[in-house]
Amino acid sequence: MTPLLLILAIAVPAAAGLLVLLLPSRRAPWAPAALAALTCAFELVLAVYIFPHDFAFTWPWMGFGAEFAVKLSRFSAFILLGIATFSFLVTAYSAVSMAKAPSSRRFHAWVLFTVALSAGAVLADNLILFLVFWEGLLLTLFAMIAAEKTRPFATAVKAFVIVGLTDLALMFGVMLTGHLAGTMSMSAIRLPLDGLGAVAFLLLMIGAMGKAGAMPFHSWIPDAAVDAPLPFMALLPGSLEKLLGIYFLARVSLDLFILTPASWVSTVLMGIGAATILLAVLMALVQRDYKKLLAYHAISQVGYMILGIGTALPVGIVGGLFHMVNNAIYKSSLFLSAGAVEKEAGTTDLRELGGLGRSMPITTICFLIAAASISGVPPFNGFFSKELVYDGALERGWIFYAIALAGSFFTAASFLKLGHAAFFGKPANAKRTVKEAPWPMLLPMIVLAGLCIVFGVANSLPLERLIQPVLGTAMKGAHGGTFAGFPTNMLLVGLTAGVLALAVANHAFGVHRTGRGIGAVDHIHHAPGLSSVYKLQATGALDPYRMLGGIVGVASRGLYALDRAIDWVYSGLAAQSALAVSWVLRKAHNGNVNRYVLWALAGAVAVVLAVLAVTGGGR
Amino acid sequence: MADRRAIATAARLYFVYATRIVDARAARSTGRGRELPFLRLRFPGDPAIIRRRAKGASLGRVGRRAVDGVWKEHERRNCASRGGVCPPGGGVPTGAVIILFSFDYIAHYENQNEYYTMAVVFLGAMMGLVFSSNLVYLYVFWEITGIASWRLIGFYRGKTDVLKADKAFLMTALGALVMLIGILAIHGLTGTFDLGAMKGTALPLGISALLLVGLLSKSATLPFQTWLPDAGVAPSPVTALLHAAVLVKIGVYVFARLFLSTFVFDEALRTIVASIAGASALVSAGAALVETDFKRIVAYSTVSQIGFIFLGLAMGNALGAAGALLYILMHGLAKAGLFLSAGIVEQNAGTKEITKLGGLMRSMPWTAVAFLLCAFSVMGIPPFGGFFSKYMVISAAVKADEMVFGAVFLAGALLTILYLFRLFTKVFLGEPHGVLAPEKSRLMVACVVLLAALSLVGGLAVGWPSELARVAISQMLGVAG
């Protein structure tokens, strides 16, 4: 079997993307979506086909350590499979949901480029090549948000600037890593975490977290949820970016650097993970828009993955990676359900939704499965991965575990609220008749919901086939070298069950208090102390992007003043002093002969004095 | 009629330069070391060609004699540095597109003869400078470019236009005079003006500083940067030619020529130049974020990007020098695109004040997209060419253990993203002010689109320009790239 298959995995989507851009879209408006779905299907077949192999392929490129080196490892094969699966499901879905949108052609072209670049980033075995693919994703991200004409351009710029900032950090990290290791070949690098190594690690980590959307690089995601087309949300912030970001984070922690639980870097990672979980879920809790609520959860769930990998313990890392897969499954399913609701009910504002359970039963069931999964209800997949992360977190410190558990409580509470407000209760608008979404939109949701169950009930399948091989044989699980099966630590399971029960009780209390599903968390929203923070957040003052803008604004005005000051030296000072000198000289030359004789005498005296001074005076 | 003839002469003369460079037929290989198979160099001002094709056209007797001298020098010692490949390699195609652009742009104005003559004199002097191997010739051509750019900037005859042209000339000429003192001091030190003969000389820091003043003033780097934004009063093709493609790169190129390939590289100089470059990159990027004049913003951006090139050269390793040469090429292409877009907007909308512009995406879609693509290249986003050069120069800083400089230039790169997006948003998006001006000239738009496409191709097929830079550097530094 030839390793050129790897090149195909990158080149075929890219070529298809170009083809889509060239298609005459007026005559065949369905063609771009169909071609995109077909290409992603091909990618999926290819990913399955090459999965068991180990390929490597190197091509000389631009010199200075940059080689076109691609390599298929256990890990990259697994992520490639994920990328192909999710892009296939989303394009199958968007073929219907975006069939009539004028931006369909551009959108699908960019989806295909995204798939190509993601495949490239996962397969790259050279840091510079990786960087090219990784940063290239910045362009497709920008273009997909901006695909809908000019309206969401501000959001696209925001996403570009935030992710671009983290990409610059990543670039610096790549340079440092290459410099320290003396090679750019990723599979040859293995650095200790000390001094500059730690700096390089942190920079690479910023890049990975920026892609995954962890705090504080998150604030474009909720904006994009409102402005960008929905399949975009399911594809990029929902699944692909998480896969890529966590892939790279794990790659950095496991391969490029030697991360041990004793290292302070590990604690930093866990801290960021825990903070992301709690802060983002608190924001999700009070959202009144289906898509925005999901967007904040997309941020919050990254926290679990970073926390898991940050523990630097086998159980935590396996949990983090498993959670990455699970999150991609249930989060894209949830986003797709939001798309179905938006298409059929015409809005995603929770205040105008309600009672959809009767008219959209299949969507409702898919939503319920995915929501139970994200909330960590057994036997769905989210439960198992969260337990593994908890296990690792508790071993490293109870505070991390406590925060993660609190995150679970709020996650469950917000999904109870969302489900109640959207699918149950009374319809807010009784006149509107809502139908079930068409089958091509339902099928991807059903497949994903089915995966939620399969990956939960039969969790040995993903864990033993996909994730544990990544870690190699060095890291053994608690019983029999595997992490599959039901959690062994019954204390953790009990606490999880307790938290879930508490969330249900909280929901019942809230609904009883306000009488509406949407008001289920009002008592938390308006709690003393929290409410002022929420108010401040609503004004955008806590948005890191806004803060960056402020800092840059002040700095640039200072720099501009400096520039003007330098200019003044030439335009002001130099010109004025030239004028002053010429004024003095002009005054001296007034045409009076006596004056000129005087000048001549004074000059002669000056010359004599100068000569005397130089020769050392009257000897 | 006279105008048209002038255009024809100018174009023909220009393409003599352009074609001679890549004309493999004319190449009598006299090279030492590695020869590029696809680009055999010949001196572009080959006197035989000038005599045959452009009788009495523009270089003038003095210029021709100078050219003859350099040519003999070249024949005798074959010392035209192959490092000279990159500035013309970037400058020639870019310059060709810019001249093409000005066919439509300049057609509305008087003094076209002067314009084309000066443009050709400028490019010719640039070529002469690149292939000079003698400090005196270098200085002469240096000043010819200064005079030509003075007339080009002062193309419009308004009071401020003339003043700004004078300012540009005075500031660069001042620097050149200081440099001349440095050149004389070098002669005092080595007894020769020949660059080849003085190879390996260790230059005292004082003389280096004298030379540096000239280089920095020509390249519009802090503290001599302010003539460049002011020169934005010139017609857009002129600003593109001077500020993006060629003129400001002269200083950078001569820096490489003198300090990298001729003299022994001084460690103290590295810190000095890198500090100046860093300050220059940040100050002008900050200014670009505050300015409200389209062309001034792009000009400040040029000042900022020149800092990156100096950084690459100052690090003194092969990676940085190759990155700097690539940077000259990539930045030239993309920045020319930005200036020419500014020209289209300015000419059709009648203003270059970005607060009075907006929503032009609708009426100028091609210009807007081409602008955005060129902007991506300047920002350094893969797969555009600008990414690779930016990566290489910052990476060179890391390689030289100058982490602080690396971080400073990363901040510069972030500011680049911010000010270019600010510019794009203000001009092409948002609410329109007044009538939305359409793109009138197809030729002009085609030029901008071509530059955007070249920026993209330069990145996708980066192996080719990178190979070019590597060979040039291996010759300049005398090391295997």
pLDDT of residue A605: 94
Structure-model confidence comparison of residues A439 and B176, the more confident one: B176
Average of per-residue pLDDT across A257-270: 85
ipTM score for this prediction: 0.85
Residue A618 lies in a domain: yes
Count of CB atoms situated within 10 Å of the CB of B28: 8
End-to-end alpha-carbon separation of chain B, Å? 52
Contacts of B302 in chain A (CB under 8 A): none
- For residue B377, the model assigns a pLDDT of 92
Confidence of residue B80 (pLDDT cuts 50, 70, 90): very low
Among all residues of chain B, which has the CA nearest to that of A563? B283
List pLDDT tens digits, range A396-413: 888 888 888 888 888 888
Cα separation, A601 vs A607, in Å, equals 10
Q: Do B287 and A569 touch (CB under 8 A)?
A: no
How far is the CA of B219 from the CAs of A298, A405, A425, B333, in angstroms? 48, 59, 70, 17
CA A369 to chain centre: 25
Average pLDDT of A345-373? Answer: 82
The alpha carbon of residue B171 is apart from the nearest alpha carbon of chain A, in Å, by 8
DSSP string spanning A121-151? HHHB-BHHHHHHHHHHHHHHHHHHHTTSTTT
CB–CB of A175 and B406 under 8 A? Answer: yes
pLDDT (0 to 100) of residue B81 = 47
- Which of B308, B387, B398, B457 should one mutate to test binding to chain A, selecting the residue with the greatest count of A CBs within 10 A? B398
Instruction: Specify which residues B353 forms β-bridges with.
Output: B293
The two counts, helices (H) then strands (E), for chain B are: 20, 0
Q: What is the least distance, in Å, from the CA of B260 to any CA of chain A?
A: 19
Q: How far, rounded to the nearest angstrom, does the alpha carbon of residue B297 sit from its chain's CA centroid?
A: 17
Decide if A562 and B414 are in contact by the 8 Å CB cutoff.
Answer: no
Question: Is some CB atom of chain A closer than 8 A to the CB atom of B463?
Answer: yes
Peptide bond into B383 cis (omega under 30): yes
Nearest-angstrom CA–CA distance, B285 and B301: 6
Strand partners, A68: A59
Interaxial angle between packed helices B318-349 and B442-460, expressed in degrees from 0 to 180 and rounded to the nearest 10: 160
Region A34-45: what's the mean pLDDT?
86
The answer to whether residue B70 scores a pLDDT higher than 50 is: no
- Minimum CA–CA partner of B408 in chain A: A172
Lowest average pLDDT, out of A105-119, A425-439, B49-63, B353-367, goes to: B49-63
User: In angstroms, rounded to a whole number, what is the distance separating the alpha carbons of residues B312 and B395?
Assistant: 9
3-class DSSP state of A57: strand
Torsion of CA A427, A429, A435, A440, to 10 degrees: -90
> For residue B244, what are the CA distances in angstroms to A601, B228, B328, B332, B333?
56, 11, 9, 5, 8
pLDDT-based confidence at B359, cuts 50/70/90?
A: confident
Q: How far apart are CA B151 and CA B112, in angstroms?
A: 12
Helix (H) / strand (E) element for A70: namely strand A66-71
How far apart are the C-alpha atoms of A485 and A456, rounded to whole Å?
Answer: 9
Give the lowest-confidence range in A309-323, B123-137, B293-307, B401-415: B123-137
Min mean pLDDT across A236-245, B39-48, B313-322 is at B39-48
Whether the pLDDT of residue B414 is over 50: the answer is yes
**Spatial CA neighbour of B371 closest among B327, B339, B415:** B339
Beta bridge partners of B134: B194
- pLDDT at position A172 is 92
Lowest mean pLDDT among A290-304, A348-362, B380-394, B419-433: A348-362
Residue of A nearest to B362 (CA): A150
pLDDT tens digits, A522-543: 778 777 777 788 877 777 777 7
The answer to whether B407 faces chain A, any CB pair under 8 Å, is yes
* Chains A & B: contacts with CB separation below 8 Å: 125
B171 touches chain A (CB under 8 A): yes
- Between B42-56, B432-446, B453-467, the lowest mean confidence (pLDDT) is in B42-56
Using the structure block, give the residue that is written with the tokens 């997949």.
Answer: A381
Residues of chain A whose C-beta is under 8 A from some C-beta in B? 61-64, 128, 131-133, 135-136, 138-139, 150, 153-154, 157, 160-161, 164-165, 168-169, 171-172, 175-176, 178-179, 196, 552-553, 555-560, 562-563, 566-567, 569-571
pLDDT for A617: 58
Q: Quick count: other Cβ atoms within 10 Å of Cβ A460?
A: 13
**Model confidence band, residue B477 (pLDDT cutoffs 50, 70, 90):** confident
- Counting every residue written for chain A, the total comes to 619
DSSP secondary structure letters along A468-508: HHHH-TTS--TBTTB--SS-S-HHHHHHHHHHHHHHHHHHH
pLDDT exceeds 60 at position A515: yes
What pLDDT sits at residue A474?
54
Total domain count, chain A: 1
Contacts of B213 (CB under 8 A, 6+ apart): B175, B178, B179, B182, B224
Structural domain harbouring A615: 589-619
For residue A599, tell me if it sits in a domain. yes
Among A65-74, A112-121, A455-464, B17-26, top mean pLDDT goes to A112-121
CB A376 within 8 A of CB A330: no
Name which of B132, B182, B183, B172 is nearest B148 in CA terms: B172
Question: What's the pLDDT tens digit per position in A155-191?
Answer: 888 888 899 999 999 999 999 998 888 888 888 888 8
CB contact under 8 A, B413 and A555: no
* A551: number of Cβ within 10 Å: 10
pLDDT at B61: 46
Q: What does the DSSP 8-state code read for residue A105?
A: H
Q: Do A132 and B382 touch (CB under 8 A)?
A: yes
Average pLDDT of every residue of chain A = 83
Mean predicted lDDT score pLDDT of chain B: 77
Question: What's the pLDDT at B133?
Answer: 77
Give the separation between CA A406 and CA A92, rounded to whole angstroms: 36
Q: What is the band of B83 on the pLDDT scale with cuts at 50, 70, 90?
A: very low
Inspect the interface and report whether the beta carbons of A136 and B382 lie closer than 8 Å. Answer: yes
Is some CB atom of chain A closer than 8 A to the CB atom of B118?
A: no
pLDDT of res. A148: 66
Site from B297, B381, B428 to mutate, A interface, most A CB atoms within 10 angstroms: B381
The rounded distance, in Å, linking the Cα atoms of B216 and B255 is 9
pLDDT, greater one: B22 or A420: A420
Chain A hits for B391, CB-CB cut-off 8 Å, are 128, 131, 171, 175
Spatial CA neighbour of B233 closest among B119, B297, B156, B337: B156
DSSP letter string, A514-545: HSSSTTTTHHHHTSTTHHHHHHHHHTTTT-HH
- Taking residues A23-43, what's their average pLDDT? 79
Residue B242: per-residue pLDDT = 79
> Mean pLDDT over residues B194-214, rounded?
85
In a domain, A612, yes or no: yes
For the residues of A175-232, what is the DSSP string, one character each? HHHHHHHS--BGGG--EESSTHHHHHHHHHHHHHHHHHT-TTS-THHHHHHHHS-HHH
Q: Which residues contact A612 (CB under 8 A, 6 or more apart)?
A: A618
The pLDDT score that the predictor gives to residue A426 is 75
Q: Predicted confidence band at B308 (pLDDT cuts at 50, 70, 90)?
A: very high
Which one of B322, B398, B418 has the shortest CB-CB distance to A161? Answer: B418
The most confident of the ranges B114-128, B319-333, B465-479 is B319-333
B7 reaches A (C-beta below 8 A) = no
Instruction: Give the Cα separation of B361 and B19 in Å (integer).
Output: 37
Most confident of B78-82, B163-167, B244-248: B163-167
Output phi, psi for A435, to 5 deg.
-105, 165
With bands split at pLDDT 50, 70 and 90, how would you rate the model's confidence at A477? low
DSSP line for A249-267: HHHIIIIIEE--TTSHHHH
DSSP letter for each residue of B345-383: HHHHHS--BGGG---HHHH-HHHHHHHHHHHHHHHT-TT
* Among A230-239, A386-395, A471-480, the least confident range: A471-480
Does B418 sit within 8 Å of A566, measured CB to CB? no
Q: What is the pLDDT of residue B54?
A: 40
Q: Are the beta carbons of A310 and A266 closer than 8 angstroms? A: yes
Residue A174 contacts residue A211 (beta carbons within 8 Å): no
Residues of A in contact with B387 (CB under 8 A): 132, 135
Reply yes or no on whether the pLDDT at B183 is more than 70: yes
Contact by Cβ (8 Å): A437, A344: yes
Residue found under tokens 């400073």: B408
Q: What single letter denotes the amino acid at residue A513?
A: R
Residues of A in contact with B283 (CB under 8 A): 559, 562-563, 566
Overall average pLDDT of the A430-449 stretch? 79
- Over range B129-138, report the average pLDDT: 80
Percent over 70 (pLDDT), chain A: 95
Task: Flag whether A384 is in a domain.
Answer: no
Any bridge partners for residue A67, and if so which? A60
Does residue B69 carry a pLDDT above 60?
no
φ and ψ at residue A379, rounded to 5 degrees: -100, 30
Query: Between B300, B319, B406, which is nearest A64 by CB?
Result: B319
Q: Which of A82-86, B66-70, B244-248, B440-444 is least confident?
A: B66-70
The pLDDT of residue A603 is above 90: yes
pLDDT of residue B19: 42
The helix (run of H) or strand (run of E) holding residue A547 is helix A544-568
CB atoms A557 and B286 under 8 Å: yes
Higher pLDDT, A101 or A605: A605
* pLDDT level of residue B326 (50, 70, 90 thresholds): confident
Q: pLDDT-derived band of residue B88, with 50, 70 and 90 as boundaries? A: low
pLDDT at A298: 85
Residue B222 confidence (pLDDT): 82
Candidates B221, B276, B282, B290, partner chain A, best to mutate (most A CBs within 10 A) = B290
Tokens of B88: 């013309």
Residue A431 pLDDT: 65
**pLDDT at position A579:** 92
CB contact under 8 A, B429 and A135: no
Task: pLDDT band for A582, please (50, 70, 90 cuts).
Answer: very high
Minimal Cα–Cα distance from B286 to chain A, Å?
A: 4
Asked, for residue A610, whether it belongs to a domain, the answer is: yes
Full 3-state SS string of A392-424:
HHHHHCHHHHHHHHHHHHHHHHHHHHHHHHHHC
Phi, psi of A506 (to 5 degrees): -60, -40
- In this complex, the residue of A132, A160, A560 whose CB is nearest that of residue B287 is A560
H-run or E-run covering A62: strand A56-63
Out of A535-544, B70-79, B106-115, B403-412, the most confident range is B403-412
Mutate to test the interface with B, among A170, A556, A567, A571 (most CBs of B within 10 A): A556
